[in-house]
Amino acid sequence: MTNKDLFKAGPAGWEADPQTSFDTWLSQQKGRGGAPAMRISSAEVYRAQWGKFLDYLQTRGVELTRVTDVHISEFLSSLHSENRSQRDRYRKLIERVFADLYRSKAPRGYVNPAGVAQKEQGAAWKAVAGNLPTSFLTLAERRTLVEHLLSPVVWQKSEEHWRQLRDRAMVATFLGAGLKVSEALRLTVNCVALHGEPWIKLRRPDSQFSHRTQPTPFARDLLARWLAERATSGCRGDLVFPAGVHGGAMHSVTALRAADAIVDASGVSENRLERASPQTMRNSFAAGMFEAGESPKSVGESLGFAVVLTAERLKASWQSWQTFQN
- pLDDT tens digits along 250-295: 998 889 989 999 999 999 988 776 788 899 999 999 999 999 999 9
| Greater model confidence, 291 or 109 | 291
Predicted confidence band at 30 (pLDDT cuts at 50, 70, 90)? confident
* Superfamily for the 139-325 domain: Intergrase catalytic core (1.10.443.10)
Against a cut of 0.75, is the pTM above it?
no
Residues 306, 110: Cα–Cα separation, whole Å: 54
Residue 59's contacts (CB-CB under 8 Å, 6 or more residues apart) are: none
Read off the pLDDT of residues 34-88 as tens digits, 9 standing for 90 and up. 566 677 777 888 888 899 999 999 988 888 888 888 898 888 888 865 567 778 8
Closest alpha carbon to 261 in 131, 166, 189: 166
The domain ranges of the chain are 3-126, 139-325
Checking DSSP bridges between strand 210-213 and strand 199-203, what pairing results, if any? antiparallel
The better pLDDT of the pair 318, 10 is held by: 318
- In 96-218, the DSSP E strands lie at 192-193, 199-203, 210-213
